[in-house]
Chain A
Amino acid sequence: MLSYIGRRLLFLPLVLFGVTLFIFIAMSFLSPYQLVSSYIKSPDELKNQSLDDLVKKYQLDDPAHIKYFRWLGNIARGNLGYSRSANMHVLHAIKARFPATLELTIFAIIPVVLGGIWLGSISAIHHNSPLDHGTRVFAIIGWSLPSFVFGIVLLMYFYGVLGWFPPGRLSTWADMVVLSKDFVRYTGMNTVDAILNGEWAVLWDAIRHLIAPTISLSYLWWAFILRITRSSMLDVLNKDYVRTARAKGLPENIVIGRHVRRNAMIPVATVAGFMVLGMLGGLTITETVFDYKGLGLLTATAAQQLDYTCVLGTTMFYGVILVVSNLVVDVLYALIDPRVRLD
Chain B
Amino acid sequence: MMKKLLRNPLSMLGFALLAFFIIIALLAPIIAPTPERHKHEPYRIPRYGWQITPTPPSEEHPFGLTQGQHDIFYGVVWGARTAFFVGLVVVGLSCAIGIVVGAASAYIGGRTDEIIMRIVDVFLSFPFLIAAVVITCVLGKGLDKVMIAMVCFWWMNYARLLRGSILQVKEEEFVLAARAAGVSHVKIIIRHILPNTIFPVLISASMDLGSVVVTAAGLSFLGLGAPEGYADWGQMISFSRNWLLGAPGEPLKYWYTVIYPGLAIVLFVLAWNLIGDAARDILDPKIQA
Contact = CB atoms under 8 A, between A and B. Distances in A.
A15 interface: yes
Interface string B238-267: 101100111000011001001000100110
A29 B252 contact: no
B218 A280 contact: no
A277 B214 CA distance: 17
Given A160-B252, A235-B286, A144 B136 contact: no
A19 B125 CA distance: 9
Interface in A277-312: 277-278, 280-282, 284-285, 288-289, 299-300, 302-304, 306, 308, 311-312
B273 A144 contact: yes
Contact of B118 (A14, A281, A300, A315): A14
B273 A149 contact: no
B138 A280 contact: no
Interface residues of A, number: 56
Interface in B109-147: 118-119, 121-123, 125-131, 133-141
A305 to B, nearest CB: 9
A152 B125 contact: no
A15 B125 contact: yes
A145 B214 CA distance: 9
A322 interface: yes
A11 B123 CA distance: 13
A238 interface: yes
Interface SS, B side: helix
Contacts of B234: 148
B126 A22 contact: yes
A14 B137 contact: no
Interface string A16-28: 0011001100110
Contacts of B258: 149, 152-153, 156
A281 B219 CA distance: 11
A120 to B, nearest CB: 13
Given A144-B273, A311-B133, A281 B214 contact: no
A303 B133 contact: yes
Contacts of B270: 140-141, 144
A157 B273 CA distance: 26
Interface in B203-250: 210, 214, 217-218, 221-224, 234, 237-238, 240-241, 244-246
B287 interface: yes
A281 B128 contact: yes
A155 interface: yes
B266 A149 contact: yes
Contacts of A319: 126
Contact of B255 (A155, A156, A285): A156
A231 interface: yes
Interface string A118-150: 000000000000000000100011011111110
Most chain A beta-carbon contacts within 10 A, residue among B137, B218, B224: B137
A183 interface: no
A144 B210 contact: yes
A30 interface: yes
Contacts of B123: 18
Given A149-B265, A153-B258, A289-B241, A299 B122 contact: no
Contact of A161 (B210, B251, B286): B251
A318 interface: yes
A149 B252 contact: no
B135 A156 contact: no
Contact of B127 (A300, A308, A322): A322
Interface in B261-280: 262, 265-266, 269-270, 273-274, 277
A234 interface: yes
B284 interface: yes
B126 A277 contact: yes
A211 B258 CA distance: 21
B286 A26 contact: no
Nearest to B140: A306
Interface of A: 11, 14-15, 18-19, 22-23, 26-27, 29-30, 136, 140-141, 143-149, 152-153, 155-157, 159-161, 231, 234-235, 238, 277-278, 280-282, 284-285, 288-289, 299-300, 302-304, 306, 308, 311-312, 315, 318-319, 322, 326
5 contacts: A14-B121, A140-B270, A140-B277, A146-B266, A278-B127
3 tightest Cβ-Cβ pairs between the two chains A and B: A281-B129, A18-B122, A160-B251
Interface of B: 10, 118-119, 121-123, 125-131, 133-141, 210, 214, 217-218, 221-224, 234, 237-238, 240-241, 244-246, 251-252, 255, 258, 262, 265-266, 269-270, 273-274, 277, 284, 286-287, 289
